[in-house]
Amino acid sequence: MLYIGIDLGTSACKLLLVDEKGCVRNTVSKEYPLCFPHPGWSEQDPGDWWTACREGMPELLAGFDAREVRGMGVGGQMHGLVALDETDAVLRPAILWNDGRTAEETAWLNDTVGRPVLSARTGNIAFAGFTAPKLLWMKKHEPELFARIRKIMLPKDYLVYCLTGVHATDYSDASGMLLLDVEHKCWSRDMLALCGISESQMPRLYESFAPVGTLLPETAAALGLPQGVTVCAGAGDNAAAAVGTGTVSTGAAHADSRCNISLGTSGTIFISSEKFGVDATNGLHAFAHADGGWHLMGCMLSAASCNKWWQDAIIGTNDYKGEEAKIAPEMLGRNHVYFLPYLMGERSPINDTNARAMFVGMTMDTARADMTQAMLEGVAFAIRDSFEVAKGLGLSVPRSNICGGGSRSMLWKRILANVLGIPLDVVKTSEGPGYGAALLAMVACGEYETVAQACSALVRTVDTVEPDASLTALYEERYRQFRQIYPVCRALFPKLL
C-alpha cells in the first residue's frame, strides 16, 4: 500500500509518496510566489496551493501504481486566514502566519480584552500571526468582504476541501487561531462572538488522524487517483513535523518531555505532553497535538529564512556550504558579532511585531564569515529564549529531535546543540510535516491503531549531534550577552517604522 503526505509550506508544496513500511518512495516540490503588498504584510493566493498540488501529483505517481494509494494527509503552514464566500470561492488572498499588519488588533485583544481572559478562553494570548486578529483587521479595513464570509479556513484545510469537498480542520491547527478552547477541544463561543463570526462559519473539528472523507470523483480523476482514497484531517505543520520525527507522547508516567526543533522558514520548539498546561507568561503556545494530546510550542518567525535572506539577498550567493566553510572551528563560541533574527517581527517569547533584525558588535576587522556565523548563532540564541520559558515550567528536556531545511547544515546543528547544551537527534526521514502527514493517513486507514504506534514502528534515529562541554560554556556567556540586546533596543524599534 502507498500513502501520500502533503507539506503545504510557505514557499512550496511538497508531496511525498510513502509505502506501508515507512519508506519514502518519491518526492515532488512545487514552488509558488509569496506577496508582500506592504512592509510587514505577507499574503498568498490559495489557488496557487491547489495548482501546485494538482500539478505535482502526476509527477509523484509516475512509475507507481496509483491504485495502491490508500490514504492522504496534509500538514501545513498555520494561522493563515482563508475566507470563502457562499459559493466557496476565495474572497481575498490568504493573510499568512508571518503577516504583521495586526499590531493594533493584537494589542486590543491583549490589553483591552485582557491576557487573563484570552488565556482562560483559549489557553493562549494574542499574537499578530494568529487568525483572530486577522479577522478583526478584515472586519475593520475590509467590511464589505468580511460581510461576505461564509466559511473561515486554514491553509491546509483549504487543500483538504479541494480534495474532499468537506470543510474540516483539526485541533492542532485550530489551536493557533485564538478561536479554539484548546483544553476542551471546542470552538470558544465567546471568542467567535468577539470577532463577529458564528460557529456555522467555522469548519468541523477533527482529531488529526481522523478520516474526514474520500476524494471527490472529479478530483480523483484530475489527480490520477482512485475515488476511494481516504483523506484525514491532517495537522498544523509543527504538529505534523513532530509526528514525522516521533515526537509524540509515549504514555509513560514521569517520562522526560519529548521535544522537536524545526529549522524551517520559521523556527520552533515543540514539547509534547499528555496533559494540557499553560505557562504563566503565555510566552509559549499551549496547543493540541496531532497524537490526540497537547503540546507547548515556541515559534520564532524567521529561522532558516534568515539564512536565505543573508546568503541570497545580502551577500549574493547560493553556495551555503561554501560560506559555512569559511567559519573557522576555533571561532565557535568566540564571535563578538551578534544578530537579532527579527526580520518579520517576533512571536515567542517576546511577542513584538515591531522588533527588527540587526547586527551588533562589528569592528574594522569583522569579516564576512563573522557575519554569517552571527546569523546562525542568532537564530540558535532566539530558539533558546523559548527553551528558557520551558525550563521555568520545570520541564525536563534532556535532548531533542531536529528537522527542517536548516537541519541539513552540520555546522548549524553543532551550534544549536552547544547553545542549548543538549544532544540533537536526526531521524532517518527528514521530510518533517509531509512524512508526519503520511503517518497520520496510515492511522486514518487503520494501518496502525495510534499515532504513537506508527511512530514507534517507522521513525528511526540515524545520527546524534552531541554538545561539547567546553563549547557549551563559551556559548553560555555569549547567550547571556545576546539576551541584553533586545531589551535595550525595544523602545527604539517602533520609532524606526
Distance CA 8, CA 156 (A): 6
Distance CA 62, CA 288 (A): 36
Distance CA 412, CA 52 (A): 30
DSSP state of 256: P
User: Which residue carries 553560555 as its cell?
Assistant: 476
Do residues 283 and 390 touch, judged by C-beta distance below 8 A?
A: no
DSSP state of 258: P
Q: Which residues have a Cβ under 8 Å from the Cβ of 339 and sit 6 or more positions away? A: 306, 357, 358, 359, 360, 371, 374, 375, 377, 378
Q: H or E element: which one contains 196?
A: none
Per the residue annotation, which of 170, 237, 291, 385 is the catalytic one? 237
Cis link prior to 226 (omega < 30° from 0)? no
Q: H or E element: which one contains 102?
A: none
Whether 237 sits among the annotated catalytic residues: the reply is yes
469-482 and 368-392 helices cross at what angle (nearest 10)? 90
79 is in an annotated binding site: yes
- 200 vs 65, 86, 137, 187, 204, CA distance in Å? 40, 12, 20, 11, 9
Do residues 103 and 128 touch, judged by C-beta distance below 8 A?
A: yes
Distance CA 50, CA 222 (A): 12
Beta strands 235-236 and 69-76 are parallel
Separation of first and last alpha carbons in the chain? 54
Residue set of the binding site for substrate? 78-79
Q: Which residues are identified as catalytic? A: 237
